[in-house]
Each structure stands twice: as C-alpha cells, then as structure tokens.
Structure 1
C-alpha cells in the first residue's frame, strides 16, 4: 500500500527520495511527498497524482550537503487524496511519514485540539507529529518524546520522523507494517521494502514489531541482525510490452518452470523448505488469504482434498481474525500472500501461532514479514510483479499448492507412484501451456470490443474451475471497472439466473476433462434466457455467442492453466479498449498493509 523512504547523508537527497518512491509505485498511491531537513531548515513538497507532479513541484530544489530526508507515497484511507492530506505531515518544527492506521486517532486529535494544536488534514497520521511536539514540551529530549508518543498510539504503523530539535537523526518505529534500514557507502537509508534500497545499500536490517529508535550516520552498526542486501537490480522493464501486466502474463511459462525447479523430479515432489517430520500428525489444513491469493487457496483446497485426502478449509483472512475460530493442534495453517506484507493475513498467521498451530507461508517475497513469521515457507519464485492486478503470482501460487498436494500425498500414501508421475507430467505440460499464442491474443483483442457495455458479467465454472471463475471476475473488475461476479455454475438456478438477459455477459469455463456435461447444462439454462455466452472450451458448443477454443488436453489441470491465460488476456484487452490504466487501476494497491 503506502510506501516509505528515508535518507541520512550528504548526497542529493531529493533524487534519492524520488528514485526510491518510483520503486514503490507498483504498490498503488494517489499522492506523494518529500521532506528534507538541512542546515536547520525543513523543505516540504507534496503533490496529488503521479510522481511526475511531485518532481515538477521540486524541480528547482537542491539538497546537497549533510541532511536528513523522508518521503512517502500515499493511498488514501483517512481523508481524500488531496495535497493537504498527503505525507509528510508537519507540526511546528517536525515532519512525519507513516504507513498503517492509528486506531485511536480521533481520541488523540480531540485531546490535542483542546491543548491548542491546529490540524490541517483529515488524516490519522497528523496526530503523530503533534503528539510528539506536545510530549517534547514536557520531556525536553526528542527520543524520550518519541517513545512517549508511541506509547499513546494504538494500531499498525511504520513511522519515520525528523525534527529541527535533532537535525542529524531520523526517528523510526515499526509495529505491524514493514520497515527496513539499510547502510551504503554514502549514508543510511530507510524503506518499506527492499526495492528502493537496491543500488544504494549493501547491508540491511529488517525491523521487527516493537522496534523503535533513532538513526544517525554512525548508528547503523549497532542494529541487530544486519545482513547483506541480496537482491539484484534486475527490476522489470516493459521490454516492448504495452503494460507490465501484459509482460507478466507472457512470462508465466518461464516463472512456473522456476517454481518447479529443484522441487519436481521423477515420481515425487520434494520441498527442501519443509523439514522432515514437519507434516507429521497433521489431520487438517486451513488456508488463509485475501483476494487473488484466496482464490489460489480455494483452488488448492480441491487438490489437497483430492490428492492428499486431508480436510482443507479456506478462510478469508479479514474475516478469520474476528470469527473466534476453533483451531486444533493437528491443524496446519497455511497463509498465502504475494507481497508477504498483507496485514490481515499476517495477523491471522500470528493468531494461529499463538494457538500453537504449525504454520506454512506460500509467498513471493523473501524476507517479508509473513515469511519471517511462519514456521516454514515456500517461495513461489514469480519474480517482481509490478502490475497491481496479479497474474503470474496467482499462477505460481496454484502451482505450489498442486505440488504441495502431491508432496503430502506421497507422505500419506494416498496416491500411487504411477499417479504421482502422471500428475507431475501434467504439471510440466501446464507450465508449457501458459505460453501465450499470439493468434489467441489477437482473437481475444478483437473479441473484447463486444464486451464493453451491458449490466455485468457472470464467470461460471465447476469444481476447481469455480475459483478460476472467481479469479477471472476479479481480474476484470479490477482493471476494467465493469461489474463481474464469479459463481459455481450449479448455483445459477438458485437466484443469480434472475439477472439473465441479453445484456448479461456470461463467461463459461467448460473443460473437457471435468464435469463437462454438467456445466454444459448450466450454460444452456442461461442461453435459453437470452444471456450472451462466451464459452472457453475445447468442445464445439452451439449455445455460445462467442467461442474461445482451447486445445484438447490430457488433464483438467492443463485446461485450468490454459483457461487462466485466456481470462487474464480478455480482462486486459477489455480494459485497454476502455482506456484504463491497466497497471495502476484506481483505488487499488499492490500490497495491502492495513485492514
């Protein structure tokens, strides 16, 4: 979600902050700002919209010479996306940037207002800097005032604060939102993810919840658990594609091979990440995730029950936390997250650990909060995904869950060796089938112009194709802003079919190898009521208005991955025709680090 950067040193601070914020654009934002404290003067620049607006605002500003600086990209939570609500926020002589939510900000704002503090924004963040300056009036020492401020805050936060009262320091705190400190040859750096630090820092410290302190030019070596920054500067460029999302769809066949590499071979799937005996005594699995990762988990539940014969529950993380769930010691708790920083999922993971459950994370980002918190983790190896609407992350999450189902099946002896070999063959073929056929892409590009109006979409499928239908609907609504819903096709006659008419578009997933006749019957019910049908299938189907043919495959999972690509490209091309920003859709963020 929001992004944080910071710098202590003598280099041009404006360029370092802007460079770091650009690396965080993929998270989503609607405003941005920077603050530089140099020679006793605070210089603040803010802008709504793209970072180019902020660059224009501060184009004549120079900040060479020693100083401290902080920057922020904001995605509105409290208060509209305006320049006043953008970070950094200022009191009389201090500035602050903050990711997260201060749950008791209304109470604090009222208290501070009664003390004479004047608030100019609608945000929760502004209370932090005013509270700090009020505490400083009583405690005189900035660090003691900072600690006293934090004791009053309830909620999740990553905070950087600078003040004229100690112009060589940045004060920091982490609780539930990621924050990293890095050291380079020319200064100290802060960021909310690895990306802004690459090329600047050589060593980093990943802060833990409850960490707080201050940093100057000489303090870094006193931090615990310093490690090398191991990520290369191989950040994705579009490489001729129109959008990062398009590029990421096209590279799925490559990253799926990376996901399987060293894990799949012969007649077994082996995860070095899972220690021998870790899965012993497990009688049930709960998968917990949000959004696209939830859909991947739902797909995985079919495979885990079918192959490993383990009861598998799937929970939406934001609901799980407040359900007072019953958790058993024999339960494996699996969390899925692309970023590894999804706040609801992280809190559910901590809840499961407190209950004594074994925990496993499926994640794309090493060193993320979820990976560090879980007992063990499996990295999806999807590479950097800059498009906000997830594509290759979903593909690799489903692949990991498929592999996990076979790994557990071998341990539990629920599949024969020959059956596992057959599944592995399908797995390898599925990866190949995500290679985009240019003729198919052109077909979908032409088809997309027929699906720009109407009153909504149904995406329907059965069995494991139901979660794929959910994901197809989510992809479309995320980037096209058209209303779309995913349904199990058998549920149509239990209410949703009331919406059927010629202005309702139905995208039907009709695999040959799984319940074809059942779903065909469901689609015919919709066609009989004049719904416009777009069928994705290897079989001729007279009831369709549009047919997207897939090839005849040996297994339904091969069809699953092939149809996944069709849904992704269809959503992309509809969105392009509507003139939308495919990579950065409105109101969305790549990493949701608040509830």
Structure 2
C-alpha cells in the first residue's frame, strides 16, 4: 500500500521526490516523508497527512542534494504519527530506510538489537531494517564503502522474513541508492544521467519510460550513470529494460474532476485495447495444445474485491460457453481452506495490480497442488504475472482511482474471450457459434461508448437519492455479480451502506430492510428473466422503495410502469450485457460520493494495492 520513490542524478532530487510521491497518492497512505543527502549529511523531513503537508515542511527545511528517497506510509505497525513516518534511521542517523510490506520477525530482531544497545525511536517494523544494516556494517569487510553497504544489505536480507521492498541510503556513500524486493512491488526507472527506484511506474513516468522489473530477492544498486541488479545469491544479472507505452497524460486526470470519472470514460478504449490481445490463441497463452485444453476438467477462479466480482461473472461465461465446472473463491479464503487436489485443474487469478498479497498467496497454493495457473492482470512485470505459468494482460493503462472501473470491465471482457476460446477448443461451441460470439465481443467497445453517455441522467437522479442511508442492488444470473459490484462501488467511495442481492432472494430476508424511500437499483435487461425482475420491482415498490431500473430499449416501457427512474443501456447478448449494465452503477457511486463531499479517488481506509495480508 505504501509508496516509494528514490532518485540518483545530477539535479536537486527534492522536486523529483515530491512529484513522485504525488503520483503514488492513489496507493493510500496516512503520512509521508523524504530524506536527502546534503553535504555529507542526511536531512530527513516527515509529516502526517497528505503529501501537500510534507511539501510545506520541505519548503521550510529546504534540503538540497542529488540523492534522495521518499515514502508515503500506510500504517501497519504503530499509529499514524510523525515518529512512525518513513524514512527511518539507525542510531547514528547516517542510514535511512523506506519500506513497504511487513517484517514478520521484527519483534524478535528488535529485542536482539536492543540487547546490543540499539535505541528505537518508533513503533514500526521498518526501523529494524535500519538498525540491522547499522549492525551488519560493523561485521562485513570490503575495499570501499559502497561495496560494504551492499554486503550489509545482503546480510540483512538473510535475517529478515516477510513480504517487503525497501530502499536504503548511507551518508558515507553519496550518489548511491540500494533497493531490495521480496514479495512487494519495486521497479527501477532508467533515465539519462539519472535513475529512479519506485514502488510503481507512475512515480517516475514523467522522466523515463524505461523500466527494470525486479524479481524476487533482487537487489538493485543505483548510481548516476547506471544500475546493477544482483539476484538473491548476490550474482550480477542482466535485466533488459521494458519500454512502457503509457505516457504521463494517461496517468493523469485529463481534465476530469477525478481519476474515477476519467477512468469510467476510459472504458471504451480500454476494452478495445484489451481485445487487441484477445484476438489470439489462448492455448498458446496457457501453454496447452488442443488436447491439453480438452483435458481441462476444473477451473478455480481466485481474486479479491472487484476482481472477485469479475470472477463471478467469468464463472457464468466458462460454464455456459465451455461447459467446464468453475469455483470462485476469495483469495483470502482459498489460501486457508482445503482444496481437493484434482487433476486437469486450471487456477485463474484476477488482479488489476498484480501485487495483491492474498491473490499471490492463493496462486502459490494452487501451484503447490499441481494446478496450471493463469493471471489476468493489468500490470506488466508484476509479482502475480511472474508467479503464474502464463498471463493474459488487460491493456487498461494505469488505473489511479482506488475504486476500480475500467480494470473491472476489461477483466470481464477477458473472461468472456477466454471462455469462448475454451469452448471452441473443447468442442462445446461450434465454429459458427464461436464466430458469432466473437463478433459481438468486438462490437462491445462501441456499445460502451454509448453507455458512458448516461452520466448526465445518472447525475440528475442522484439529487433525489444521495442522502439515503441505505441502498439495495438487485440482479439475477450473470447480473447478480454486477449487483454486488454496484453495492461495493457505492460503499467504497460514498461510505454509504449498500448491499447487493440475487433478486430471487429478497423474499428470503432482505426485503425486511426495504422501506419508504429506500433506493433499490434493479438490473433488468430484456432477457429470459425480465418478467421475474418486473415482479421484484413491484415487490420493492409496494413497500415504498424508490426503484431505479437499468434495462435495454426493449424493456424500457414495461420497466417504466414499475420503476421511478429508468436508465436505458445498449443491448448486446445476454452474457455480455453486464459489461454495459455496470456503467450507470459506476456513475451512481461517483455522483453520490461527490454530492456528499467524499474523497473519491482516495477513499478513507482503502488503498489501491493491498500488498500485505
């Protein structure tokens, strides 16, 4: 969740660090800080709250230097405070460390270090790293200080356990920055006479689009004129820079009030870009020939949050189009439940960031059980993509808002393409049926372009309902997961109570919480279950609910007879309809949150990438 940005170059590093931290604000944080090597001394500035507070404090302190590191902290050990903010130092104040993740054995290490005379100034697990490096510098030998620091870091890595990424500076090694990665995101930006260390690409994308993706256990040594990468055994390795196609504008708001709104409007292009790579042989992606695909007998989908809802939609797709049984698990549950070790099983992990700790842990369990693994992910070089056997990339560009929108619809699109290709390969779909389905899929981007035109109507409606305390979302069949997603989106950004239900279940309990004025949003495209959804609307309206129907043109007239408001989305086939139906729900969440004055892009208590369990 935390953010790291480090700079080594010929310019004053402070503007680079402040700007990089602002680009990482989407990750969620409660404090921020930076350290700069100035005239042989480390100058540290920290502040509780937003990066803007750190920026003010930095203007007062006015540190200047060509090597520095910054951090945004999400509290895991110790309350949000200036003392617990990063960077953290050793006893001498000559070593500074910033860190993402959790050091699981920090209490044991802290006790040992305190017994040796080390004095801690914070409640964090991170400070242990700084003191360990200080201690290890006393026991390693090297011909010069830069190599000595590297050896101390490598020794420290063998003593700490957990999932972490950290950066370190030493006052005695100007022009040197060291980064370490283990199960937490860390990348290196390669520039001209300057290099960057960061937890995510947007932190330095303004300055370079050449990125080194670090592997598990890698140590990166950054100088002005180059970067050396060592593997977990200390051996130098060649890492080829990856050129990121995103430009800086893609990672900015583009004139919209919030990233969330921009990313809702990004969806037609995101789907089109994702489909460019979907026009391929999924057998090659999975590393399976036609016989291998035909032998698949079980599919496990594992994900968290919004990605989990995409997985639920994918279950409908795969079972109908490919005829393969599918189970969908929350990754945090899959890791700890008993999973039968059935042969010919494919585990599909869905994640926007590819850094979600629970999802990565669940994939590792699936691999231990002998299952083939596939990632559906948006981030090239992420931990999940390197853990799985193969990857299908959703090409959404950076998704900055914590509340996922374009990644969600691209994930659903990917699941549909996968299901269709599996069905074609195993004979569940004829070639004619496959071509028809795929033709409809290729038209989806155009339909999404029409769906986003609903913003004005949704915005107008929210004036009537935004003050409600409770919201209900109803759907059936493939739209049931969309009801869950609509409720989650509203909870995330507006902090209002919202629940999603299968419409057929409301008589089994949920109808008791519907009373006069309760907004009930009903997903009811004109399909085989349309008449049953009409009945659900009538039941809710009879109890005083304010019913909002999301339907297609063919169902609009009948829906208007049982609803207070009707939104008409474009019509596509029944399976693809949820991709369009979710759009008014995204706008609904956005505009209710905006009218309530909420922090839309960075909701309280939430972070974009949950990189700790």
TM-score range, shorter chain: over 0.9
CA-CA distance at 1:542 after TM superposition: 6.1
Show the 5 A alignment for 1:488-499: 488-499=502-513
CA distance in 1, matches of 2:354, 2:188: 18
Task: Indicate which of 218, 231, 238 corresponds to 1:211.
Answer: 218
Give the conservation status (yes or no) of the 8 Å contact 1:455–1:503.
Answer: no
Give the corresponding residue for 2:232. Answer: none
Show the 5 A alignment for 1:400-479: 400-436=414-450, 440-479=454-493
* Structure 2: stretches of 5+ with no match in the other structure: 142-147, 230-235
Once the two structures are superposed, what CA deviation does each residue of 1:1-32 show, in whole Å capped at 9, x if it has no partner? 21111123332111222232222222222221
Give the corresponding residue for 2:244. Answer: 231
Give the corresponding residue for 1:198. Answer: 205
Task: Indicate which of 150, 175, 179 corresponds to 2:182.
Answer: 175
Once the two structures are superposed, what CA deviation does each residue of 1:65-85 show, in whole Å capped at 9, x if it has no partner? 6x5321111122223332222
> 1:331 and 2:345 equivalent?
yes
> 1:583 and 2:601 equivalent?
yes
CA-CA distance at 1:589 after TM superposition: 1.3
Give the conservation status (yes or no) of the 8 Å contact 1:456–1:484.
Answer: yes
Structure 1 residues 160 and 551, CA gap change in structure 2 (3 angstroms): closer
Give the corresponding residue for 1:78. Answer: 77
Give the conservation status (yes or no) of the 8 Å contact 2:176–2:222.
Answer: yes
Show the 5 A alignment for 1:87-98: 87-92=86-91, 93=93, 94-98=95-99
CA distance in 2, matches of 1:442, 1:202: 37
Give the conservation status (yes or no) of the 8 Å contact 2:278–2:414.
Answer: no
CA distance in 2, matches of 1:432, 1:271: 28
Structure 1 residues 204 and 571, CA gap change in structure 2 (3 angstroms): closer
> 1:252 and 2:267 equivalent?
yes
Give the corresponding residue for 1:12. Answer: 12
Give the conservation status (yes or no) of the 8 Å contact 1:255–1:381.
Answer: yes
CA-CA distance at 1:423 after TM superposition: 1.7
Give the corresponding residue for 1:2. Answer: 2
Give the conservation status (yes or no) of the 8 Å contact 1:286–1:332.
Answer: yes
Give the conservation status (yes or no) of the 8 Å contact 1:524–1:543.
Answer: no
Q: Secondary structure at the match of 2:156?
A: helix
Give the conservation status (yes or no) of the 8 Å contact 2:195–2:226.
Answer: no
Give the corresponding residue for 1:184. Answer: 191
Show the 5 A alignment for 1:236-385: 236=250, 237-261=252-276, 263-264=278-279, 273-275=285-287, 277=289, 279-385=293-399
Structure 1 residues 145 and 584, CA gap change in structure 2 (3 angstroms): same
CA distance in 2, matches of 1:364, 1:481: 27
Once the two structures are superposed, what CA deviation does each residue of 1:328-386 show, in whole Å capped at 9, x if it has no partner? 33101111111111111112222222332211111111121212222111111112212
- Mean CA deviation greater in 21-30 or 483-492: 21-30
Once the two structures are superposed, what CA deviation does each residue of 1:480-531 show, in whole Å capped at 9, x if it has no partner? 1101111112222222222222253321111211412233333433333333
CA distance in 2, matches of 1:219, 1:243: 37
Give the conservation status (yes or no) of the 8 Å contact 1:281–1:330.
Answer: yes
CA distance in 2, matches of 1:254, 1:219: 36
Structure 1 residues 518 and 225, CA gap change in structure 2 (3 angstroms): farther
Task: Indicate which of 214, 227, 235 corresponds to 1:220.
Answer: 227
Give the conservation status (yes or no) of the 8 Å contact 1:11–1:64.
Answer: no
Give the conservation status (yes or no) of the 8 Å contact 1:480–1:571.
Answer: yes
CA distance in 2, matches of 1:32, 1:312: 43
CA distance in 1, matches of 2:281, 2:489: 30
Once the two structures are superposed, what CA deviation does each residue of 1:451-494 show, in whole Å capped at 9, x if it has no partner? 22333122111111111111111110111110111111222222
What's the RMSD between the two structures over aligned residues? 2.5
CA distance in 1, matches of 2:277, 2:605: 39
Once the two structures are superposed, what CA deviation does each residue of 1:162-191 show, in whole Å capped at 9, x if it has no partner? 223544533332110021234332133211
- Mean CA deviation greater in 242-251 or 298-307: 242-251
Structure 1 residues 421 and 143, CA gap change in structure 2 (3 angstroms): closer
**What's the TM-score once normalised by structure 2's chain length?**
0.90
CA distance in 1, matches of 2:538, 2:112: 63
Q: Secondary structure at the match of 1:454?
A: coil
Give the conservation status (yes or no) of the 8 Å contact 1:409–1:415.
Answer: yes
CA distance in 1, matches of 2:590, 2:354: 25
Q: Secondary structure at the match of 2:310?
A: helix
Once the two structures are superposed, what CA deviation does each residue of 1:382-426 show, in whole Å capped at 9, x if it has no partner? 122122111110011000100111100110111123322332233
- Mean CA deviation greater in 459-468 or 132-141: 132-141
CA distance in 2, matches of 1:110, 1:518: 64
Structure 1 residues 293 and 132, CA gap change in structure 2 (3 angstroms): same
CA-CA distance at 1:551 after TM superposition: 5.1
Give the conservation status (yes or no) of the 8 Å contact 2:193–2:225.
Answer: no
Give the conservation status (yes or no) of the 8 Å contact 2:300–2:347.
Answer: yes
CA distance in 2, matches of 1:416, 1:202: 44
Give the conservation status (yes or no) of the 8 Å contact 2:293–2:426.
Answer: no
Q: Secondary structure at the match of 2:358?
A: helix
Structure 1 residues 50 and 417, CA gap change in structure 2 (3 angstroms): same
Give the corresponding residue for 1:118. Answer: 119
| Total equivalences in the alignment | 591
Once the two structures are superposed, what CA deviation does each residue of 1:129-161 show, in whole Å capped at 9, x if it has no partner? 123323444557544443343333221100112
Q: Secondary structure at the match of 2:285?
A: coil
CA distance in 2, matches of 1:421, 1:229: 35
Give the conservation status (yes or no) of the 8 Å contact 1:363–1:378.
Answer: yes
Structure 1 residues 46 and 525, CA gap change in structure 2 (3 angstroms): same
Give the conservation status (yes or no) of the 8 Å contact 2:206–2:248.
Answer: no
- Mean CA deviation greater in 14-23 or 142-151: 142-151
Q: Secondary structure at the match of 2:575?
A: helix
* Structure 1: stretches of 5+ with no match in the other structure: none
Give the corresponding residue for 2:26. Answer: 26
CA distance in 2, matches of 1:182, 1:553: 44
CA distance in 2, matches of 1:173, 1:368: 15
Structure 1 residues 68 and 521, CA gap change in structure 2 (3 angstroms): same
